Amino acid sequence: MPEICRFYGIVIQLYYGDHPPGHFHAVYGDYVAKITIDTLEVIEGSIPERPSNFQRPAKIEPLP
């Protein structure tokens, strides 16, 4: 599995060359969801409300 991050029991996976729109896979226990990168909208599957309630930072700074 192409795991790129793990936090609070949520595993984030990103597949190279996957189909549009740009998305990542979030796995939380028995729950699996595909979430768009641009809007953080769940486009397939589901994830419980509490872990999906994280908000995008106001501004993302590029790495130096």
pLDDT of residue 27: 92
| Domain presence at residue 58 | no
| Domain presence at residue 62 | no
pLDDT in tens, 2-50: 899 888 888 999 988 888 899 999 999 899 999 998 888 899 998 887 6
pLDDT of residue 53: 61
pLDDT in tens, 37-59: 888 889 999 888 765 565 555 56
What are the DSSP E strand ranges found in the chain?
Answer: 3-7, 10-13, 23-28, 31-36, 42-45
Mean pLDDT, the chain, rounded, equals 82
Residues of the domain holding 44? 3-52
pLDDT of residue 17: 82
The tally of domains found in the chain comes to 1
| Domain presence at residue 18 | yes
| Domain presence at residue 61 | no
